[in-house]
Amino acid sequence: MPVVENSVWVDAPVETVMAVAKDYEAYPTIMKDVKSINVLETDGTRILAKWVARAEEVKMDIKWTQEDVWDDANHRSHFRQTSGDYEKLEGDWVFTPENGGTRFDSTVDVVFNIPLIGPLLKGLIAKKVKENLDDTQTAIKRRAEEKAKG
């Protein structure tokens, strides 16, 4: 499956955008396919969380545990699946101060296979990853801009 990249400009300071992005408890309300996130460990810059998402098109829940490592000084986060249904899930979020706001770049590399019917679903999964990435960045943008305006 191809790497999915996306970028959005946010009319808010980088610290505000990153704070919104770190609000894991809000994700089920801002990502339509995410059913739940349970934070298992928090260790300063590292967050380990169990995710459950629904792929409604195939009537299937997808579950995984994800490690996110935040680098506040360099305005970035690297995430990767540590266990779960994906063969591979990893990526980076980069937050760059730009034009009085923040450019929020995201790169996600996902491999998801279901034996026998897997090849039929690769296009659907790629489309869902792109949709979820767009939705997530749009929701973070909206929430960060609301917070920045007070």
Q: Which CATH number does the domain housing residue 132 bear? A: 3.30.530.20
CA distances 74 to 18, 125, 129, 135, Å, are: 11, 31, 26, 24
pLDDT at 128: 76
Q: In the numeric block, which tokens belong to residue 18?
A: 């990153």
DSSP letters for 115-127: TTTHHHHHHHHHH
Contact 47, 39 (CB under 8 A): yes
Number of helices (H), then strands (E), belonging to the chain: the values are 3, 7
Residue 55 lies in domain: 4-149
Contact 65, 82 (CB under 8 A): yes
Edge-to-edge strand list for the sheet holding 88-98: 4-10, 101-111, 88-98, 76-84, 60-71, 46-55, 34-43
CA distances 98 to 30, 42, 95, Å, are: 24, 30, 9
Pairing of strands 76-84, 60-71: antiparallel
Burial call 110-127: b when 16+ CB within 10 Å, e when fewer: bebbeeeeeeebeeebee
Q: What total of structural domains would you count in the chain?
A: 1
d(Cα 134, Cα 77) in Å, to the nearest integer? 17
Q: In the numeric block, which tokens belong to residue 118?
A: 């897997």
pTM > 0.95: no
Along the 150 residues of the chain, how does pLDDT read in single tens digits? Answer: 578 899 999 999 999 999 999 999 898 988 888 999 999 999 989 999 999 988 887 788 889 999 999 999 999 999 999 999 888 999 999 999 999 999 999 999 988 776 655 566 667 777 777 888 888 899 999 999 999 998
